[in-house]
Structures are given as structure tokens and as C-alpha cells.
A and B are shown apart, each in its own frame.
Chain A
Amino acid sequence: MGSRRRDRRELLKSGAAMVGGLTFGAVMPAMGQTPSPTFIRGNKDQIAYGDRSHFVTSVRIPHGGRPSPDPFGLVFHVATPLQDSVGVITPSSLHYVATTRGSFIPDIDPREHRLMIHGMVDRPLTFTIEDLKRLPSVTRLHFIECAGNRSTPKAKTIQESHGMTSCAEWTGVLLSTLLKECGVKGGASWFVAEGAEEVKGASSMPLAKAMDDVIVAYGMNGEPVRPQQGFPLRLMVPGFEGIFSTKYLRRIKLVDRYYMNYNDYGHLRQDANETALGYQVGPKSVITFPSAGQQLSGKGFYEISGLAWSGGGAIRRVEVSTDDGKHWMDAEIKATPQRRAHTRFGCPWNWDGKETVLLSRCTDELGQVQPTLAQVAKFFNVPLGEVPGLDNTIQPWRIASDGSVQNGHA
């Protein structure tokens, strides 16, 4: 006990010396330390709002082969660099962006912005952002995933195959709190949420979801929701396809039937199974390291790391295979899995330097298990390349004997 305390004191002392070295490194070298060769001079901008190290260069990329921004400044789909992710929170600057048809990002003055709730309610109400901040709030981790987040044989990296999902900490008022304030009329069964951007994007959703866990969010990762994510208000609809999480939220209308407005038309399907699978995101996991495009430096120890998530709730189990599915082992789930949030998993691996395939699969709290592409193709009775709906299948990463990693679908 005593020796441990001494160790800690010594550690503190050397820590203080290190800080000294960083601050005054150029002028007076700290005792017993190699002076830091370069330093970042304090400047006003960096003190006011800090940047990441210039050695860290991870960026988002346009998704699906469409330039973003386009020559007119329209923003299309942009994918998050999952290959560089650690932990579960996606920094807001790297959070994926999707727009319904290519959008200019609206520049909304939050003091002018209003949310109106009306339709089948006793009292229609209009809220300012200040009003909303007076009400009891929730702060929760949730992923969002675009319905277009599909792995194809063409994807060269995980950013291309899986980058249209991200996870953030969302703060706001539960929609159920606001609806109770308005008083829900009997017979109301659906609601329409609408944004304030140029196309006034609108989606119909079941009222049961509104009463369950939908958040009218003004906060994201400890600050106001960013413009690309819906500033000043975003309807956070946990676990549903990303398009339902309505940005620039200006209006919610309670109705007694599916309204078939704008985004709803895009969800129109012939097959009931496809429609059902299109709402709630299925259990999905992917290994972020090692993943396609990365390079192993040689045989030996690596911790395989990845993310798992499900629209059905919390992740209960993640399994990893390092021999193309012959054997599976339970991965370690890092921290307590949150409902409808990315969950980090890890798995120790000693690579013998031979060619192999890495896989991961997850199970959620409802007992839903992530399927293989072949299983889903069989279910829909279609070829592998024509599986409909949001892809939640197992991603194979092929490790070559030279340590390079490739998409196993290729």
C-alpha cells in the first residue's frame, strides 16, 4: 500500500516535469528529460477553440460516387472514417451526413426557429429553443444509420462499406414529454415530422415510437447540434433508418393514418417483408481494425476491434471468428452497452502470418442475430447481389499473408 503511494507520488512528479518540459522545452530543458523538439505555440484561435493534432488526418469522404459538395455547393452523402474510430462516440466533425436529395445546408437563426406540434392534440403548441431547454431533458448515446449503408464487392475500405453510420451523445426533450404537454387525442396513431430545409422533408412514423424513445434534440456531443446534423433541432429516432431522424425539425403533426408524404413515398414497397425490415435497423457489427485497406505489420498479437449496434435495443453478445467462421469466440464488450448505440468490442488475436478471414456477428437484447449475406439472400430468394433493404449482414475481411487486408466480398 505504502509503496504504491510512493509510486504514485513519483509518477505525479515526473508528470509535472513533463508538463514543464512541454511549456518551457525550448528555453530550459527539464531535468532528466529529452527536450521536446517542437511545440505548438499558444495562439488566440487555438485557445478559444482547439483543433486536433495536424498529425491526425482522418476525414470523411463522399459516399456512393457522388461528389460532395457538388459544383453548386449542394451536400450529398458523406461517410465517416470508421477505420480510425476508437471508443463509441463519433466526433461531430466526422459524423456521417446524408441528405434526401442533395441539399444546401440551411443557415437557421435559432432565435427565429420554432417547433409546432398540432393535429390530433388537445392543445397545439409552438416551442422556441429556449422553451425546450426549460423542459426536463434526457442525454443518451444513439447511433444513426443510413438505409444506403451497404457493403458491396466494390468497397475498398470500411469507410466505403460501412461509413454511413455514426454514434453521438444526444441531448434534448423526449417527444413523449411534449406530446403529453399537448395532450394526445384518442385515435391518433401516426405522426408526421417535417424539417425547415428547402424541400421540407417529411416522414410518417408510428405514434408508439414517439411515446417510446424519440428525442427532440438540441444538443449533440456536448454542444448544439451541428448544422450538417440539423441545427438547431433534430428529431432523434433511435434505431430507425436514418432518414426518419428529421433535421431542422419545425413541425410535428399527429394524424390517424400513414400520410404517404415525401420520404414515405421512398419507403413504398411491394413486398411486406421488405417494408417490415426497412423500419427498425437490424443487429449489425463490423470489425474496424483490422479492416480493408489497412496493413498488418507482421505476425503476432493484435487486439481485433469493432463496433456493434441494433435498432432492437442493446447489444448482448458479439462473437468473432478468425478462421472464416469455422470457430467463433465471444468478444469482450467494452463498457456497458447502451440501447440503440454503437458498442465497442475487442478480441485478442495472435496472427500466425497465414491467409485467413475475420468475421464478427452480434446478438441484441431481443435475441436477434446478425445474419450472413447468404442467409438473407435465401430468405428473400434472390441472388447475393440483390438482397433488398438495409444491409446488416456479416462483413468478411480477408487477411493476406503479406498482412494486407481486403474486402472478403470482393
Chain B
Amino acid sequence: MGTHRFVACVLLYGGLLLGASVLAQSSPTYGVGRTPTAEELRALDISIGPDGVELPAGRGTAKEGAQLFTSKGCAACHGANGTGGRAPELKSKDGPSVDTWERGRILPVRAPFATTVWDYINRAMPLGREGTLTPNEVYSLTAFLLSINEVIPEDQVLDDQNLPKVKMPIGDKYASLPDWKPKTRRLRGYPY
């Protein structure tokens, strides 16, 4: 009887597991569309999340970044040292002792993750020549911008392993996102 029960349990759990795996691997309804190649996935996936898993291999320093900042034309719009140009300010006038929210809307200061800075430069800069920077150049420019704002030391080599670990000044002092659900009001307690 004990054995029977054991066998029944095995059958039951086995069946459940089988069912679960079938559910997890849902099947397509229409069979339209094709599977992208590994190459396509790699080339198109430029969204760099906070843990940096999508980061390409590479490295760069603030010193290299400083040169690129001029040679790639960044300085022409953002100012010689990331300040005083027509394009958004990239260097805070205030040091790390000032509250991050008081230091202005400056990407390498306010971004909650260093990956956000990397992603931004990689996808959207330089103006008119977007997507032309190599990974090493993006690491270098990121290092330069973080360094001039005293987020990382001047001599730190940034790479795909340590970039996601950079402690950004804002820490977790920003509003978390609403847990949006269908058919809910914009804000609980909002009177209007």
C-alpha cells in the first residue's frame, strides 16, 4: 500500500511537471513570422539594462574619453569640458556634497545607472552620426563624463564587468514607478 501510494505520487507529480512544461512552452497560434538569427539579435539588441548583460566586451578610460570628446565633435555642442555649450550640460557646477536633485538635469550625475549613460551615448550620439561609435569609444566617453563629475576616479578603466557596478550619486533617491494595472485610477488618493 505504501509502495502504491509512492507510485501514485510519482505519477501525479510527473504528470503535473509534464503539464507545467507544456504550459511554459506555449505553442504559436498562427505560425507567422520567422526566428531571428543570433547575429540579428546581437546587432539589434542595444537596450542596456541596469545589470548590463547586453553590454558588448570593451574598455575605456577618462583620458581616452577626453580626447574623443573633442575629436568626435561632442565639445562643439556640449562645450569644451561638458559645460557652456548649446546642447545639454554634462558637467555639474556643484560637487558631490550637493543633493543630486539640486545639481540640475545632468545625465552622468542624475542617471540612476551608469548603463543608462552608456546606452544613451551609444544609441543617440554624436548628433547626426548616431551609431558610429565603437564600444571602446562609448566606454571611454562614459568614463570621461563620470570622471569629470567625480562619480568615478580619473584613472578607473571602465569595462563591461565594472560599468554596471558604478555607484551613481542618486542612489535609490528617485520615485519608483507606478504598478500600472488596467482600469485603475492614475493615482490612489488623488482627489480628481
Closest residue of chain A to B37 (Cβ to Cβ) is: A126
B174 on the interface (CB 8 Å rule)? yes
Whether the Cβ atoms of A260 and B107 lie closer than 8 Å is no
A residues 191-215 in Cβ contact with B at 8 Å: 192, 194, 198-200, 202, 206, 208-209, 212-213
A251-B107 Cα distance, complex, nearest whole Å: 25
Which of A25-33, A81-89, A277-285, A291-299 lies on the face that meets chain B?
A277-285
Question: Hey, which chain B residues are within 8 Å of A260, CB to CB?
Answer: 49-50, 111-113, 115-116
Known: A181-B29, A183-B28, A271-B175. A125 touches B44 (CB 8 A): no
A-contacting residues, B1-34, CB 8 Å: 24-30, 32-34
Pick the contact of B173 from A118, A124, A212, A270 — CB < 8 Å?
Answer: A270
Indicate if the CB atoms of B177 and A258 lie closer than 8 Å.
yes
Cβ A376 vs Cβ B192 within 8 A: yes
Instruction: Check: B176 CB closer than 8 A to any chain A CB.
Output: yes
Residues of A within 8 A of B176 (CB): 272, 275
> Which of B30, B48, B101 interacts with A135 by CB under 8 Å?
B30
B149 to chain A, nearest CB (A): 15
- A368 contacts the other chain (Cβ, under 8 Å)? yes
Residue of A nearest to B182 (CB): A212
Which of A101, A268, A277, A279 is the one whose CB lies under 8 Å from B110? A268
In whole angstroms, what is the CA distance A390 to B184 when docked?
18
A262 vs B122: C-alpha distance in the bound complex, in angstroms?
Answer: 10
Bound complex: CA of A184 vs CA of B177, how far in Å? 22
The chain B residue with its CB closest to the CB of A115 is B33
| Residues B25 and A122 in contact, CB atoms below 8 Å apart | yes
Contact, CB under 8 Å: B24 / A123: no
Q: Is the CB of A118 within 8 A of B45?
A: yes
**Chain A stretch 150-182: residues in CB contact (< 8 A) with chain B:** 180-182
- B190 lies within 8 A of A268 (CB): no
In the bound complex, what is the Cα–Cα distance between A202 and B46 (angstroms)? Answer: 10
B124 at interface by CB-CB < 8 Å: yes
- One of A182, A250, A259 near B49 (C-beta < 8 A): A259
Query: Which of B34, B48, B49, B113 contacts A126 (CB under 8 A)?
Result: B34
| Complex Cα gap A293–B191 (Å) | 33
Task: Scan residues 134-192 of chain B and give those whose CB is less than 8 A from a CB of chain A.
Answer: 173-187, 190-192
Interchain CB contact under 8 A, B119 and A180: no
Q: Is the CB of A279 within 8 A of B178?
A: yes
Residues of A within 8 A of B40 (CB): 116, 126
Whose C-beta in chain B lies nearest to the C-beta of A367? B185
Q: Does B83 sit at the interface, judged by CB under 8 A?
A: no
Beta-carbon nearest neighbor of B25 in chain A: A122
What residues of chain A lie closer than 8 Å to B178, measured between beta carbons?
Answer: 275-276, 279
> How distant is B110 from chain A, measured CB to nearest CB, in Å?
7
Question: Which B residues are CB-close (under 8 A) to A126?
Answer: 33-36, 40
* A209 and B180 form a contact (CB under 8 A): yes
A219: chain B residues within 8 A (beta carbon):
none
- Among candidates A124, A261, A280, residue contacting B48 with C-beta atoms closer than 8 Å: A261
Interface of B is mostly: loop
Does the CB pair A369–B192 fall under 8 Å? yes
Taking CB atoms, residues of chain A closer than 8 Å to B191 are 371, 375, 379
Q: Provided the pairs A125-B33, A282-B192 are in contact, do residues A200 and B124 lie with their beta carbons within 8 angstroms?
A: yes
Question: Contact: A206 with B32, CB < 8 Å?
Answer: no
The answer to whether A366 has its CB under 8 Å from any CB of chain B is yes
Nearest CB in chain A: distance from B122 CB, A? 9
Across the interface, name the chain B residue whose C-beta is closest to A185: B24
- Interface status of A300 (Cβ within 8 A of chain B): no
Chain A CB within 8 A of B130 CB? yes
Given contacts A261-B48, A375-B191, contact A272 B175 (CB under 8 A): yes
In the complex, which residues of chain A have a beta carbon less than 8 angstroms from the beta carbon of B181?
208
Contact B50 A257 (CB under 8 A): yes
Q: Is the CB of B192 within 8 A of A116?
A: no
Interface flags, A240-275, vs B, CB<8A=1, else 0: 000000000011010101111110110011111111
A123: chain B residues within 8 A (beta carbon): 28, 35
B41 within 8 A of A: yes
* Contact of A183 with B190 in the complex, beta carbons under 8 Å: no
* Cβ-neighbour of A199 out of B124, B182, B190 (below 8 A): B124
Q: How close is B167's CB to chain A, nearest CB, in angstroms? A: 15
Residues of B that sit less than 8 Å from A by CB: 24-30, 32-36, 40-41, 44-50, 101, 107, 110-113, 115-116, 119-120, 123-124, 128, 130-131, 173-187, 190-192
With A181-B30, A182-B28 already in contact, 16 other A-B pairs whose C-beta atoms are closer than 8 Å: A116-B36, A118-B41, A126-B33, A135-B32, A181-B29, A202-B47, A251-B44, A255-B49, A260-B50, A261-B48, A261-B119, A268-B112, A269-B175, A272-B175, A371-B191, A375-B191
**Which residue numbers of A lie inside 8 Å of B, CB to CB?**
101, 116, 118, 122-127, 131, 134-135, 180-186, 192, 194, 198-200, 202, 206, 208-209, 212-213, 250-251, 253, 255, 257-262, 264-265, 268-277, 279-280, 282, 311-313, 366-371, 375-376, 379
A-B contacts, 17 of them at CB < 8 A, read A124-B41, A135-B30, A180-B26, A186-B24, A192-B47, A251-B45, A259-B50, A264-B116, A270-B101, A271-B175, A273-B190, A276-B190, A312-B186, A367-B185, A370-B192, A371-B191, A379-B191
